[in-house]
Amino acid sequence: MQRRTFLRSTAVAALAAVPLTTTLSGSASAADTPVGSLAELQSAINGAAPGDRIVLADGTYTVPSGGAINVSGKNGTGAAPITIVSKTRGGAVLRGERSFVFDNSSNITVSGFAFRQSATMEIPANCSTIRLTRNDFQFADIDGLYWVVVRANDSKIDRNHFHDKTTAGIFIVVDGPGSTDMAQNLHIFKNHFSDHSFTGANGGEPIRLGVSGRALSSAHAVVEYNLFERCDGDPEAISVKSSDNTVRYNTIRNSRGGIVLRHGNHSTVEGNYLIGGTDGLRLYGNDHLIVNNYLNGLSGRALVVGSGTTRDHNSGETADERRGNDACDRAVIVHNSLLNNAGMLSGETREYEPRDVVIADNLLVGDSGSLVAMGATTGFTWRSNMLWGAASNGNIPSGGYTRSDPRLSQGPDGILRLSAGSPAIGAATLGSPAVVDDIDGDQRGSTRDIGADEYSTLPALRHPLTTADVGPNAS
């Protein structure tokens, strides 16, 4: 039974066929300044005013050693940013050690370039509201090189492609001023991250939000609608090492890395697809919400409720203590679907066990091993989870589950969803926190279904992302 139609609008489908060199604008405006050399570009930037749009002609430009394209003391406005753009997407290729270097600037947009530099691009803390959009990033394949480091508040990184690295190093690092603060309100969305093939134990994340010393600082970053493919540089595709972040509606496919709340508290992981890779979700720290995620066909551990070398991180701990694992306390894990993974829902064996975690209304289906393999826990609440398949129940408490065939049906997008007559329909019981919709965007209503999917005959509003949905040509 096909209960849904997997829709992609004709506009989105058309974008998939648009070449990278699509012209960025139809006709020049009065504020457009066309330039054809690095010297002309620098002069135009130096004289730019709010609303100006500087358009660099297509071609390959090599920034001299020790030099840069300086954006210093330039301030657009929210309504009229200063925009620096390639004439066509990917048409202006910037080589050399550095390209744009930002300083004391705000409301600047950089769009449509192919970056091929050999040093980190930094958005420093004395800037704000810097936007990198519709660019192609493939820096020199240098061991340990971080490609983009963000320390400025209110920045956006959207519709870019980060790709092809074989050595240690991170595509996007989010830090902040000083040694403990975080950049505020970063928005990372509709990017395509692909083909990081570093085979070391770690050190090759596509995105790292913070670092251990910044774990207790709130960042309020939103990472959404990004596609990760063949991201094999680290077990953590999205590594969260700060507090109060949202990771939602991303698709991680055929990748070693998963989503890991490694340090920090109060983050939400919602509506993500993790399909056919290795690791899923791993949780440390306090008061997280894990809701509406779909984990299918993973060869590693799907969902880990982590134990700790410490109970809670605090401002007085040593550097070694801060780098350790903080036991997962008071997380709410609700309405997730774990399907046919090698490791399903599991724990760990460090000194400090996780405490007071709620695990409710989740769907676990598998044919081998144990569906639940928790280590020591304290004060867990298990409620109305549904288990199915030849795998054993494991050590889930007897009152925390039912065992029934959820009657899953595969849609044209490959996703397994509930079909009519499923015993999961209307069987969810956890009332708080409220869960308004499901992974597809369907409204939950007052009577909710178990798992990430709420049964509906309507077309899905959200779906696993494809290359047509992200990157330089995305809508």
In a domain, 47, yes or no: no
Chain centre to alpha carbon of residue 92: 28
CB 386 within 8 A of CB 335: no
| CA triple 259-265-267, angle to 5 deg | 50
Q: Where are the beta strands (DSSP E) in 207-276?
A: 207-210, 222-224, 227-231, 236-241, 246-248, 251-253, 258-263, 268-270, 273-275
User: What was the pLDDT predicted at 59?
Assistant: 98
In a domain, 53, yes or no: no
In a domain, 98, yes or no: no
User: What was the pLDDT predicted at 29?
Assistant: 55
In a domain, 173, yes or no: yes
In a domain, 51, yes or no: no
In a domain, 87, yes or no: no
Count how many domains the chain has. Answer: 1
In a domain, 126, yes or no: no
Q: Residues for the chain: how many in total? A: 475
CA distances to 38, 132, 161, 225 from 21, rounded to whole Å, are 20, 17, 14, 23
Residue-wise pLDDT tens digits, 304-326? 999 999 999 988 888 888 889 99
Q: Dihedral angle at the C-alpha atoms of 274, 275, 279, 284, nearest 10 degrees?
A: 20
- pTM of the model as a whole: 0.93
Task: Name residue 111's beta-bridge partners.
Answer: 85, 133
Residue-wise pLDDT tens digits, 203-234? 999 999 999 999 999 999 999 999 999 999 99
pLDDT means per 10 residues, the chain with 475 residues, are 34 35 46 95 98 98 97 98 98 98 98 98 98 98 98 98 98 96 98 94 95 96 98 97 98 98 98 98 98 98 97 87 93 98 97 98 98 98 98 97 98 96 98 95 96 95 97 98
Residue-wise pLDDT tens digits, 161-203? 999 999 999 999 999 999 999 999 999 999 999 999 988 888 9
User: What was the pLDDT predicted at 318?
Assistant: 85
Other beta carbons within 10 Å of 328? 30
CATH number for the domain spanning 434: value is: 2.160.20
Q: Which domain holds residue 144?
A: 10-24+134-469
User: What was the pLDDT predicted at 147?
Assistant: 98
CA distance 109 to 402: 53
In a domain, 82, yes or no: no
